[in-house]
Structure 1
Amino acid sequence: MAGAASALFLLDVKGRVLIWRDYRGDVTAIEAERFFTKLVEKEEDVVAQGPVLQEKGITYMFIQHKNLYLMTAARQNCNAASHLLFLHRVVQVFKHYFDELEEESLRDNFVVVYELLDEMMDFGYPQYTEAKILSEFIKTDAYKMEVAQRPPMAVTNAVSWRSEGIRYKRNEVFLDVIESVNILVNSNGQLIRSDVNGSLKMRTYLRIMQMPPGYFCSGMPECKLGLNDRLLLEAQGQTTRGKSIDLEDIKFHHCVRLTRFENDRTISFIPPDGSFDLMTYRLSTQVRPLIWVEAHVERYSRSRVEIMMKARSQFKERSYATNVEIDLPVPADATSPNIRTSIGAATYSPENDTILWKIKSFPGNKEYLLRAEFRLPSITAEDEVPERKAPVRVRFEIPYFTVSGIQVRYLKIIEKSGYQALPWVRYITTAGEYEIRLF
C-alpha cells in the first residue's frame, strides 16, 4: 500500500484553507498553517528538494495549480509519488466538472467538491480517479449534484476505465506515434544534447452489439499492439528487414497488462473510450539535426550589419517538414531592416530582437537562404558590456516520419462477436527544445 493520507487540503496562494477533508482524524486544520509557514521559510530549499516537506512527524505532499495549493498530510510512512499523482488526478477531475480550477470555482461548488473527495479517497486511500466514471454517478449542473440510483458497472468492474452504454456508428481506432526531438548544438558545431521523447496517443471508438438502428453499444474489446522492439523480436526468434529499436523509460497507461509485457513484451490492453496516452518512451541515442542552421554576421564601421543565414534539411528527399519557424537573434539596437529570403517569409520582431523566418513546406535535402541588413547606432560606448548572444530556435513538424525508426508492426482489435474495426496509424516528428548556438 502507498500509505494513507490523513487529510487533503485546498489552500489559496496566501495559505488560507479553502476546503479540507479529514480522512483519519489524526490531523487538524492547524497543520495546514504549519505547512504554509514551512513552505515560505524554506522556499529555496523546496525548489531543490521537490514538493515534499516534513515537520513534527507529518509529511506534506503538495502541488500548485494556478492560484491554489493542493496538499495531502500523512502521519504514516507513505509513497510520496503516489500521493502527488493522486493530487494531479484531483486537478483533472475538478477541471472536468468546473472547466477551470480556480479559487472561485471551488467556492461556487464546494458541495460537489466534498462529494468528489469522498468518492476519490476512502479512509486516506485513493479510490476512483477517472473523471468519466465519476461523472456517471456524480452529476452536477452548476451548483446541483445528482447521484445515480445504482453505481455504474465500471465502478464495480475490474476494468474501471471503460464504462458501459457508449454508442458509435463505426468501429475506429486512431493511433498517433509522436516523437519530439531535443537538440542543443554549441557555437563550434558540436552536438552536446540529443534525445527523443516519444508517445503513442490513441483515440478509440468501439462498440460490441447492435442496438436501435444505426447505433451500437460498446463492450470490452481487447487490443494488441506490436512494435519493432528489438527485445520482442529476439524473444520471438524473428528478424525484420527494417530497423529494430531499443526503447527506454517506458511508461504505460494503467489499462496495459504489465505482467504480459514483462513476460513476452506484448502490449495487450482493453482501451478506454476516447483519447488517452497509451505509452511514452525515451531514446538517448545521438540524433543528426534534422534542420541545420548556419549564420554569418558582418559588421561595417559600427553603423551597419549584414546577416546571411543558411537553413538545410538533413532528412530524406521524400519527406518534408511543415510549419517551419526559425528564430534568429539580432542586435538589440538594430533598426531599418531589409530582409530577403529564397523561400517563405521573414519578419522582424523588435520586441523580441529576432527575425522570424516561416517556411510552410521544407522538402528533404534542400537548402534555403536568408539575407538581412540592419542599421546600428553610429555611437557606442568604449566600455560597453558585450551583448549576450541568444541561440537560434527552430520549430517544425515532419509527418509520416520518426527519428527513432519505431514502427507499428500490427494493431489488432479482438472482440467475441467478431465485428470489424478500422485501425489508423499516423507518424509525426516535432521539434522539442531545438537550439543552435551560433555565436
Structure 2
Amino acid sequence: MGIDSLFITNNKTETLTAVKHWGPETDSSVCEKVFEKHNEAIKANSQGDVLAIDGKDYAFFQSRGEITYIATCNSETQPLMVVEFLTQLHEVLKSYFGNVITEAILQEHHLTLYQLLDEMLDSGIPVNTHPGGLHVLVPPPNLANRLHNAVLGTASGVLVSDQDPTKLLPLPWRASNIKYTSNEVYLDVIEHVDATLDPEGKLLTSAIYGKIEVNCRLSGMPDISLSLSNSHLIEDYSFHPSVRLARFASDRVVSFVPADGKFTLMNYKIRPESKEDKNQWQPKYIKQNPWMQSQTMGGGGPGGGPEGSISAPLPLYIRPQSSFGPTQGRISIVCGTKPAFEKPVEAVSLQVALPSRVLSADPSATHGGATFDDASKTVNWTIDKFPADKTPCLTVVLAMGSEQESNNNNSDNTNNSNENENENALAMMGGRTDKSSSKLQSERRKIKLQETCNVTAQFSVAGVGVSGVKVESVQVRNEKYKPTQGVRYHTRNGRIVVRT
C-alpha cells in the first residue's frame, strides 16, 4: 500500500547515488530498465511518470536536473500519492542543500538524506513532507552542526532531543520557536494568460491562471487573514495545507498560519466572463476591472475584434500576414501594445514556426532583434521595450524548396486522370449519369492543406493583473508586532498562439 523502494540516481552517468527499502527489496537493475524504457518513450513521443517493469512492479520516476528519483511499488497504491511525494522530496532537498541538487551534494550529506527519508516515510507511506516541520526534526547541515559533530563525534543531522517529535511540531509546516529581528511578509500575485487567436486578432480560446506566492519572515505563531476583491471570478482553486477551507468557502477570506520562508499559498483559475454577468446585480466587494471593461469595446482600435465582442485579455496585439510561392515566400508581422494597459510590456519575444520546405530566411525588424534558426526552422524576434513613436514590424523573406510542391502536383495529376477515366466509364454505361457526374464533381473538390507559420508569444508586465483579483487587506493577528507588508502583481504569458 506504499512505496517499496526508492532509488536516487544520476541521469547523466546513470550511477546510483542512494537507495532505501521499506518493503520487499527491489534490485537496482530496475534503474537501467527505467532509463531504457524512458528513452524509448521519448522517441515515440509518449512520455510519462509511470512505467511497468517486467509486468509485476511499477516504477514512478521524476528527473530534476542531473538527479532522477525512482520509486517502485509491487502492490496496489495510489499513483498520485507517489508522484506527489517525489515532487515534494525534491523541494525538501532544495530547502536543505540549495536550489541545485547534484550527486556530489547528496553523497556529502548522505546521513542527513537518510534521516530525512526516515522522517518523511513510515513503512513507505508519506507522513511528514513539509520542509518547515522537517527542519525541527532533522537540523539542516551548517557550520555550527559540523563543528559540534567534529568535537563530539556525533553523526550529522541526528535528532538528539528526547522530547516527543509530535510536541515539537504544533503545525507540520511551521516550527514553534521562530524569531526574527525584522518581521516581514510579502505577497506576489502572478497571473498567466493562455490564448489562441486568428490572424485578425479574434479570440478562439483563452484562459487565465494565477497563483499567490508568499515570502514570510514572521516571529512566533501569527495568524493571517487575506481579503481578496473579485474573488467571485475564481473558478478552480487549490490551497496550501495551512489554509482553512471552511473560512474561504463561507466568506471568501484566505485564513492561515503561514509556513516559514517562501511557499505557494494558492493556485486558481479565472472563469470566463459572460455578457450576462454585466446585467446582474453585483455585491459591494466586486470592483470593476478597467482592463476587462476596455475589451468590450467594438473593433476599431489596434487588435480589436468584432463590434461588441470580448477580445483576449492580452496587453499586446499581433497581426501576421504570410504568402508562400513555389520558390519564394514572405512573412510580415506587426506587434504593438494595447492602450488600455497602463503598465509597460517588457521582455516580448515572438517565435515564428516556418514551413518545413523553407531553405533559408532573411529576417529584418524595424525595432528589436530578429534571428533565424536553421535547425528548428524558426525565426525569433525579441523586443525589450516598445518605442513610443512607431509600431514595430518584422519582415521575413523566404527561399522555398520546390520538391514537395512537385510531388503534390504529380499526385493531383494522377488523381485527376483517374477521375476522368471513371467519369468516361460511367458515361458509357448510361442510365443515372447525372447523379454519378454530380457525385464525381463533389469528390473532385479536394481540401488542400495550406502552409502556415504559427506565431507563439512571450511577454511580461510588472505591477498589474489582468483578471481583477487583488489583495485588499492583509491582517496579522495573534502577535503584538506590526510587520512590514507588500503586494506585487505580475502578468506573464502562458501559451499564446496566433494561427495564420
TM-score range, shorter chain: 0.7 to 0.9
**Structure-1 separation of matches of 2:203 and 2:215:** 36
2:226 alignment counterpart = 225
1:391 alignment counterpart = 454
Query: Does structure 1 retain, via aligned residues, the 8 Å contact 2:239–2:265?
Result: yes
Q: Which amino acid aligns with 1:372?
A: T
Change (3 A) 1:194 1:317: closer
Residue 265 of structure 1 is aligned with which of 240, 244, 252? 252
2:466 alignment counterpart = 403
Q: Which amino acid aligns with 2:209?
A: N
- Secondary structure of 1:430's partner? strand
Change (3 A) 1:18 1:400: closer
Residue 258 of structure 1: CA displacement?
A: 2.4
- Secondary structure of 1:404's partner? coil
1:28 alignment counterpart = 25
**Where do residues 113-132 of structure 1 align in structure 2 (5 Å cutoff)?**
113-132=113-132
2:156 alignment counterpart = 145
**Structure-1 separation of matches of 2:361 and 2:246:** 63
Query: Does structure 1 retain, via aligned residues, the 8 Å contact 2:199–2:320?
Result: no
Change (3 A) 1:404 1:152: farther
Query: Does structure 2 retain, via aligned residues, the 8 Å contact 1:320–1:362?
Result: no
The more displaced of 354-363 and 383-392 is 383-392
Would you tell me which structure has more strand in proportion to its own residues?
A: 1
Query: Does structure 1 retain, via aligned residues, the 8 Å contact 2:34–2:59?
Result: no
- Secondary structure of 2:359's partner? coil
Change (3 A) 1:335 1:37: closer
**Structure-1 separation of matches of 2:135 and 2:178:** 14
Q: Per-residue displacement from partner, 1:270-293 (whole Å, max 9, x unpaired)?
A: 111221110001125276152221
Q: Per-residue displacement from partner, 1:127-172 (whole Å, max 9, x unpaired)?
A: 3323354345334369971435427988722223223554434332
Query: Does structure 2 retain, via aligned residues, the 8 Å contact 1:182–1:195?
Result: yes
Residue 106 of structure 1: CA displacement?
A: 3.9
1:288 alignment counterpart = 312
Q: Per-residue displacement from partner, 1:49-94 (whole Å, max 9, x unpaired)?
A: 7526487775544333345542334455433222221121222223
Q: Identity across aligned pairs (percent)?
A: 22
1:210 alignment counterpart = none
**Structure-2 separation of matches of 1:48 and 1:172:** 42
**Structure-2 separation of matches of 1:224 and 1:265:** 10
Q: Which amino acid aligns with 1:90?
A: L
Residue 203 of structure 1 is aligned with which of 215, 236, 252? 215
Q: Per-residue displacement from partner, 1:245-273 (whole Å, max 9, x unpaired)?
A: 33122111111122333444331101112
1:176 alignment counterpart = 188
- Secondary structure of 2:101's partner? coil
**Where do residues 412-431 of structure 1 align in structure 2 (5 Å cutoff)?**
412-417=475-480, 419-431=481-493
**Structure-2 separation of matches of 1:301 and 1:383:** 9
TM-score w.r.t. length of structure 2: 0.67
**Structure-1 separation of matches of 2:457 and 2:472:** 32
Unaligned regions of 5+ residues in structure 1, if any? Answer: 207-217, 231-244
**Where do residues 191-340 of structure 1 align in structure 2 (5 Å cutoff)?**
191-206=203-218, 218-229=219-230, 245-285=232-272, 288-290=312-314, 291-297=316-322, 302=327, 307-314=331-338, 316=340, 318-329=342-353, 332-334=358-360, 339-340=364-365
Query: Does structure 2 retain, via aligned residues, the 8 Å contact 1:221–1:271?
Result: yes
2:379 is the counterpart of 1:354: yes
Change (3 A) 1:415 1:334: same
Query: Does structure 2 retain, via aligned residues, the 8 Å contact 1:329–1:355?
Result: no
1:92 alignment counterpart = 91
- Secondary structure of 2:113's partner? helix
Unaligned regions of 5+ residues in structure 2, if any? Answer: 147-154, 274-310, 409-448
Query: Does structure 1 retain, via aligned residues, the 8 Å contact 2:238–2:267?
Result: yes
**Structure-2 separation of matches of 1:410 and 1:257:** 17
Question: What's the C-alpha RMSD, in Å, of the aligned pairs?
Answer: 3.9
Q: Per-residue displacement from partner, 1:222-251 (whole Å, max 9, x unpaired)?
A: 100112355xxxxxxxxxxxxxx3312211
TM-score w.r.t. length of structure 1: 0.75
**Structure-2 separation of matches of 1:118 and 1:224:** 35
Residue 120 of structure 1: CA displacement?
A: 1.8
Residue 175 of structure 1: CA displacement?
A: 1.1
Would you tell me which structure has more helix in proportion to its own residues?
A: 2
Query: Does structure 2 retain, via aligned residues, the 8 Å contact 1:154–1:162?
Result: no
2:62 is the counterpart of 1:63: yes
Residue 414 of structure 1: CA displacement?
A: 1.1
Which of these two proteins has the greater Rg computed from alpha carbons? 2
**Structure-1 separation of matches of 2:55 and 2:379:** 52
- Secondary structure of 1:147's partner? coil
Change (3 A) 1:33 1:221: same
Q: Per-residue displacement from partner, 1:278-331 (whole Å, max 9, x unpaired)?
A: 00011252761522211234679956x554432243451534322222334567
2:172 is the counterpart of 1:160: yes
Q: Which amino acid aligns with 1:7?
A: S
Change (3 A) 1:411 1:53: farther
2:289 alignment counterpart = none
- Secondary structure of 1:163's partner? coil
